[in-house]
Amino acid sequence: MGPRLALAGLAAVGATLALASCSVQSGGGNPDVVAGKQLFVSKCGSCHTLARAETKGTVGPNLDEAFQRALKDGMERSDFVGAVHGWILHPNQNSPMPAKLVEGQDAYDVANYVAQSVAKPGKDTGVLAEAVKKPGTGKPAVESNGTLQIDADPTGQLSYVTNKATATAGQITIKMQNKSGTPHDIVIDGKGKSQQVDNGGTGSFTADFPAGSFTFYCSVDGHRAAGMEGKLTVK
């Protein structure tokens, strides 16, 4: 089954597979699926759910769900590479996909990783399991001289660099830098909300904090639901 039939088959089951964060061109050579996973997580994961990549974006289609029916209908994973390329090269007219976010061999690597991973039970193993640092697993952020910095994950994953923070009671400035291209903010209900920033921008707010436990999270649509939150313990 060639790419055209693959596309037709997926369309028949109602799958809308425009990778909302990726626009790619055909590549060649041997695919590097480790690089493909890394690129998918950083460039596409903020918009798409793909269980094996541990991404939970909701702007674009859930890729596992989109391909399940096609697999049951007998499509081969090798056909998915062409299908993914077809849609990301020619997205729907109203798609939020930016053009040429990844190209050439990078695009080929992403397409191959997606094709081998969608709707596949279990977790990645071996080098693929170590390809991307798990989100939110950095060392706890610690307040210093009244400032607590909790940065967004620089790879574009829907998380902060850590999901734990500590501080001393009193006036605290909560500060977040976001080096990724995906907009984020940081919010603590009843205390404040930073600006939405991206591409190296920094947002902050200042409030008085008594001793207690507080939840910080990103208020951009779908980000908190995808796991972009953590706990601040004030003593």
| pLDDT at residue number 152 | 97
pLDDT for 121: 94
CA–CA dist 54, 134 (Å, integer): 8
Please return the burial class of 202, using the count of CB atoms within 10 Å of its CB with bins 0-12, 13-18 and 19+: middle
**What's the pTM?**
0.75
More confident residue, 5 or 127: 127
Dihedral sign, Cα of residue 41, residue 42, residue 43, residue 45: positive
- Find where tokens 């921008």 sit: 201
Q: Buried (b) or exposed (e) across 95-133, using 16+ Cβ within 10 A?
A: bebeeebbeebbbbbbbbbbbbbbbeeeebeeebeebbe
Q: Which two tokens stand for residue 20?
A: 């909302």
- pLDDT single digits (tens) 65-90: 989 988 988 888 988 987 887 776 77
- Which pLDDT score is estimated for 189? 98
What mean pLDDT do residues 142-150 have? 98
Instruction: Tell the CATH topology of 3-129.
Output: Cytochrome Bc1 Complex; Chain D, domain 2 (1.10.760)
Q: Find the mean pLDDT for residues 202-229.
A: 96
Domain boundaries, the chain: 3-129, 141-234
CATH topology of domain 141-234: Immunoglobulin-like (2.60.40)
